[in-house]
Amino acid sequence: METTATSSRVLIGKRVLITGGARGLGKEFAHAAARAGATVVIADILEEQGKATAQQLSSLGVAVKFVALDLAEEESIRHCVEESVAVLGGLDGLVNNGAIATGIGGKSFEEMDTTTWDRVMTVNLRGTWLMTKFAAPHLRKNCGRVINLASDTALWGAPNLLPYVASKGAVIAMTRSLARELGEAGVTVNAIAPGLTRVEATEYVPAARHQMYEQGRALSRAQYPEDICGAVVFFLSEGSAFITGQLLAVNGGFVMH
């Protein structure tokens, strides 16, 4: 599914780093940004899959490279940004998509253990902060764009998924604060909150949860990665130059905020 927003060449000359780009949402974001004219680095802890994805997208004629990244390790994040800037020759956009979403659901807040809580917060929240921290000097040079992937679970309070929901709620709050701090340099920071999306990372989600989402949406169908790509491309483009600190829920109307 290719929309007008992602098929037009609104990102020509832009250099974009996308975390969690080996598969799922990140892979589709990379493809959409490259189709819109950007040169893209995808970064992920899944090295073999990331390299394969970069090769696959390159074979389609899009400008995509892979850089290894572990969002739980500060030095890995620093190195990822440095290597990406070297590959791209600068940086105009950062999409903070990488996160832990699998294997953490199904437990109440009382059953949740501190190890899982700390791991999710380290990757989803601290990782997003550190990526932005190390990318900021490069983004400031170019009035760059930061897009943080939140989740509509933080808007409706999904149960039995507390670390993930809490981390994504914090990402929304952090987006607003970062927008204030980076605004003087013309850097915009916005968040996108997708609904439950049909990707590899959500294959473990019970069918009843998928059904609840699909029946509860104003647009009553499944959500796919390409449904979110237009918003990502828009927030990376010059068309969003005076939009910052905002949250856009892309979920077919499951949550209207």
Closest by Cα among 151, 94, 100, 105 to 124: 100
**Contact (CB, 8 A) for 57 and 46:** no
Task: Give the catalytic positions in this structure.
Answer: 164
**Contact (CB, 8 A) for 213 and 158:** no
**Long-range residue pairs from 152-160, CB within 8 A, at least 24 positions apart, any chain:** 152/193, 152/194, 152/195, 152/249, 152/251, 152/254, 152/255, 154/193, 155/193, 155/249, 155/255, 155/257, 156/254, 156/255, 159/108, 160/105, 160/106, 160/107, 160/108
Closest by Cα among 61, 95, 105 to 194: 95
Distance (Å, whole) CA 28 – CA 47: 17
The residue type at 137: P
